Amino acid sequence: MKNTIAERVYDFLKNYPPFKMLNKELLTTISENVKILYFETDTKIFKIGEPVDDNFYIVKDGAVGIYSAEKNTLIDKCGEGDIFGLRALIRKDKYKLTALTHEESIIYSISSDLLEEIMRNNTEAKEFILKSFATDNNTPETKDLALDDLFADQKSSFVEVQSVQYSENPITCTIETSIKEAALSMSQHKVGSIIITQNEKPIGIITDKDLRFKIATGKFGIEEKVGKIMSSPVITCNKEISIAEAQLNMLKYNIAHLCITQDGTNDSKLIGILSEHDIVLSYGNNPSVLIKEIKRAKDTSTLKLVRQKAQQLLKAYLEQNVDIVFISNIISHVNEAITQQLILHALDEMNQKPPVDFAWLSLGSMGRNEQFLLTDQDNALVFDDVSEKDYQKTKDYFLAFAQKVNDKLNQVGFEFCPADVMARNPKWCLSVTEWKNQFNHWIVSPTNEKVMLCTIFFDYRMVYGKHDLVKQMTQSIYHSIENFEIFLNFLALNATQNPPPLSFFRNFLVEAGGEHKNQFDIKARAIMPLVDAARLLILSHKVGNCNNTILRYKQLAKLEPQNAELYQSCIVSYKNLLHFRSLQGIRKGDSGRYVDLNSLCKSDKLRLRSSFKPIKDIQELIDVRFRLAHLR
Amino acid sequence: MFGSLFKKEYPYFWNQYSNHFKEKKELNLKNARFVVFDTETTGLDIKNDRILSIGAISIVGNSIDVAHSLEVYLNQEKFNAETVKIHGILKTGNLTKFSEEDAVIQFLNYVRDGILVAHHVDFDVSIINKALSRMNLPKLKNKRIDTGVLYKKSLPYTQTYKHFGLDELCEVYKITKHDRHTASGDAYIAAIIFQKVMASLKKKNENLQLTDLFHTERREGLL
**Residues A496 and A619 placed together within one structural domain of the fold:** yes
Q: What CATH number does the domain containing A66 carry?
A: 2.60.120.10
From the list B55, B65, B96, the residue facing A35 with the nearest CB is: B65
**pLDDT of amino acid A631:** 63
Which residues make Cβ contacts (< 8 Å) with residue A533, sequence separation at least 6? A495, A496, A570, A618, A619, A622
Q: Which pLDDT score, from 0 to 100, does residue A9 have? A: 87
Verify that A395 and A458 share a domain, yes or no. yes
Q: Does residue A632 surpass a pLDDT of 70?
A: no
Cα–chain center distance at B83: 20
Residues from A contacting B (CB-CB < 8 Å) are 1-6, 8-9, 31-40, 104, 106, 109
pLDDT band at A147 (very low <50, low <70, confident <90, very high): very low
Do the Cβ atoms of A611 and A492 come closer than 8 Å?
no
- Give yes or no: residues A131 and A184 share one domain: no
Q: How many domains does chain A have?
A: 4
Q: How far is A122 from chain B (nearest CA, A)?
A: 23
Q: Which CATH architecture has domain B30-213?
A: 2-Layer Sandwich (3.30)
Q: A167 pLDDT exceeds 70?
A: yes
User: The CATH number of the domain where A173 resides is what?
Assistant: 3.10.580.10
Q: Name every chain A residue with its beta carbon within 8 A of the beta carbon of B94.
A: none
pLDDT at A508: 66
Average pLDDT (A463-473) is 90
Question: Of A238-247, A396-405, A469-478, B23-32, where does the model show the most confidence?
Answer: A396-405
Give the B-side interface with A, CB within 8 Å.
55, 57, 62-67, 69, 71, 73, 95-96, 178-179, 182, 184-185, 188, 192, 195-196, 199, 202-203
Residue-wise pLDDT tens digits, A360-373:
999 888 888 787 76
Beta bridge partners of A98: A67
Q: Is B157 exposed, middle or buried (0-12, 13-18, 19+ CB in 10 A)?
A: exposed
Which residues fall within 8 angstroms of residue A559, CB to CB, at 6 or more apart? Answer: A541, A543
- What does the alpha-carbon distance between residue A193 and residue A167 come to, in Å, rounded to a whole number? 12
Q: What is the pLDDT of residues A279-331, one digit of tens each?
A: 766 554 566 677 777 887 888 888 888 888 787 777 767 766 667 777 777 78
Residue of chain A with shortest Cα separation from B97: A1
Bigger pLDDT: B77 vs A153: B77
Q: Is the previous residue joined to A446 through a cis bond, with omega within 30 degrees of 0? A: no
Of A5, A32, A37, the CB nearest to B62: A37
Last residue of a domain, one of A115, A135, A161: A161
pLDDT given at position B221: 43
Residue A114 and residue A244 in one domain: no
**CATH at residue A383:** 3.30.460.10
Q: Are both A315 and A438 inside the same structural domain?
A: yes
Cβ contact, residue pair B63, A1, below 8 Å = no
Mean of all residue pLDDT scores within chain B: 81
| Mean pLDDT across A222-247 | 82
- Regarding whether A423 and A379 lie in a shared domain, the answer is yes
Q: How far is CA B141 from CA B18, B33, B53, B122, in A?
A: 8, 15, 21, 13
Choose the weakest-confidence range: A518-532, B83-97, B105-119: B83-97
pLDDT the model gives residue A92: 59
Q: Which of A33, A38, A39 sits opposite B66 (nearest CB)?
A: A33
pLDDT value at position A95?
79
Q: Which residue among B95, B96, B188 places its CB closest to the CB of A5?
A: B188
- Whether A522 and A418 map to the same domain: the answer is no
Q: Give the per-residue pLDDT at A157.
A: 33
Q: Which of A235, A247, A227, A242 is nearest to A273 (CA)?
A: A235
Q: How many whole angstroms separate alpha carbon A191 and alpha carbon A174?
A: 17
Boundary-marking domain end, from A281, A314, A347: A281
Domain check: are A66 and A154 in the same one?
yes
The residue range of the domain holding A581 is: 489-631
Do A621 and A574 have their domain in common? yes
- Closest alpha carbon within chain B to A37: B63
Stronger pLDDT, B110 or A494, i.e. the higher one? B110
Give all strands (DSSP E) within A177-328, no chain letters.
Answer: 193-198, 201-207, 236-237, 257-261, 270-275
> A515 or A34, which is more confident?
A34
Pairing status of strand B115-118 against strand B33-41: parallel
Q: How far apart are CA A31 and CA A485, in angstroms?
A: 79
Quote the minimal CA–CA distance from B71 to chain A in Å. 6
Answer yes or no: are the C-beta atoms of A345 and A408 closer than 8 Å.
yes
**Cα A26 to Cα A32: distance, rounded to the nearest angstrom:** 10
Please answer yes or no on whether A104 and B196 come within 8 Å at the CB atom.
yes
Q: Which residue has the higher pLDDT, A246 or A207?
A: A207
Higher per-residue confidence, A189 vs B3: A189
Cβ pairs A/B, distance under 8 A? 64
Highest mean pLDDT among A102-106, A514-518, A552-556: A552-556
Asked whether this complex has an ipTM greater than 0.95, the answer is no
Report which of A408, A506, A405, A497 is spatially closest to residue A451, judged by C-alpha positions.
A497
Mean pLDDT of chain A: 81
A57: which chain B residues are within 8 Å (Cβ-Cβ)?
none
Nearest CA in chain B to A107: B63
pLDDT range class, residue A141, cuts 50, 70, 90: very low
Stretch A332-338: mean pLDDT: 86
Interface probe for A, chosen from B35, B53, B54, B64 (most Cβ of A below 10 Å), is B64
Are A4 and B95 in contact (CB < 8 Å)?
A: no
Q: Is the pLDDT of residue A140 over 50?
A: no
Average pLDDT (B151-157) is 74
Give yes or no for residue A470 having a pLDDT over 80: yes
pLDDT of residue B82 exceeding 80: no
Note the pLDDT of residue A195.
Answer: 92
A8, A33, A38: residue with CB nearest B179: A8
What is the spatial distance between Cα A155 and Cα B201, in angstroms, rounded to a whole number?
Answer: 42
Q: Is A415 found in the same domain as A506? A: no
Average pLDDT estimate for A604-615? 78
Higher pLDDT, residue A330 or A615: A615
